[in-house]
Amino acid sequence: MTSVATLGSHCSLQVLKGAKDEGFKTILICEKKRESLYRRFSFIDEFILVDSFKEILGLKCAKRLEEQDAIIIPHGTLIAQMSSQEIESIKIPIFGNKRILKWESDRNMKEKLMLEAKLNIPKSLLSPKEIKGLAIAKRHGAAGGKGYFLTTSEKDYKRKRDKLIQQGTIKGDSDLYLQEYAFGVSAYLQYFYSPLKDTLEFFGVDRRYESDIDGLGRIPASQQIDIDITPSFNVIGNSPLVLRESLLEEVYSMGEKFVEASKKLVTPGMTGPFCLEGVYDDNGRFTAFEFSARIVAGTNLYVEGSPYSAFIYDEPMSMGKRIAREIKNAEKDNQLVNILT
């Protein structure tokens, strides 16, 4: 019997609850320090306890997962804690296209895929000398916004960069990627592409609540000036959003173009959940500064379905459940090879 496994973090509760609801055995690869948290949830059938998630690269963990016919659902923690080579070396089948995760982790490859998808993206700056207006310095990979900073000049950039080096957060310039700051209201567009049905489903939208940039608005400008703060973008949680209906057509076309581009650049393309992340400006134009080529934590909002999934399914459909449904359908039609790598 097939089981569904994931790392205990990020969106693991949603993923395993969805898998359980679809009739799969569920396995949590769980750091020992978090065991007591996850033991609270009865839909987790089996725990593989580890000191570090890297143990899934080892024989012992792999053997246990193999015995259980496990399929691993990748999420942000896998990407944050393992290199692309390590992820690609995992012998257990991974849901979706594990090769596309590299395109998510490397900012330059990411840009290439977004350009291929003809998304409107902020200009990247090749050197701090190019900083003119407001720019954002970001780390590679899914760092969850930690250590990112805003800057307006080369001098200011160097000062903030040196502070991060001192703190041990980065080693040097090569750990940072500079991009023009995109103004507007943020929106994280969640999609699911089914290669089995060749259809794109728009699943929901969220916004991130990031510390401490989102707390700054509570401090009056006069006090902000008095204190030397470099706001960071560390994700604390997510809140829901619904879009003006007139924006939906473009939402679908951007998602479709992204799927097409991914098929061209990284076969078999984008399978399963993904997210386009950016801002809408005052003309309703979307600038995408980022994509995630796997389930995002913002989908945790919609465990009981979202205002958009409700138009597609006559039952509560979370992203976790949707993934499990795809596996179930593929198994039934002998199509697992088309959704796993």
Residues that bind ligand ATP (CB under 6 A): 76, 122, 136, 138, 142-145, 148, 179, 181-182, 186, 208, 210, 233, 277, 289-290, 292
CB of 193 to ligand ATP, least distance (A): 18
Nearer to ligand ATP, 193 or 233 (CB): 233
CB of 76 to ligand ATP, least distance (A): 6
Nearer to ligand ATP, 186 or 211 (CB): 186
Nearer to ligand ATP, 27 or 293 (CB): 293
20 to 25, 44, 325: CA distances (angstroms): 6, 8, 11
261 three-state secondary structure: helix
DSSP code at position 139: E
Cβ-closest position to ligand ATP: 142
Nearer to ligand ATP, 143 or 330 (CB): 143
Q: How many CB atoms lie within 10 A of CB 24?
A: 23
CB of 94 to ligand ATP, least distance (A): 18
| Distance in angstroms (rounded) separating the CA atoms of residues 235 and 296 | 12
Nearer to ligand ATP, 280 or 289 (CB): 289
CB of 19 to ligand ATP, least distance (A): 23
| Distance in angstroms (rounded) separating the CA atoms of residues 164 and 337 | 44
Q: What length is written for the chain?
A: 341
Q: Which of 14, 41, 6 is nearest to 301 (CA)?
A: 14
| Distance in angstroms (rounded) separating the CA atoms of residues 79 and 86 | 10
| Distance in angstroms (rounded) separating the CA atoms of residues 18 and 40 | 16
Map tokens 């899914």 to a residue.
142
CB of 173 to ligand ATP, least distance (A): 18
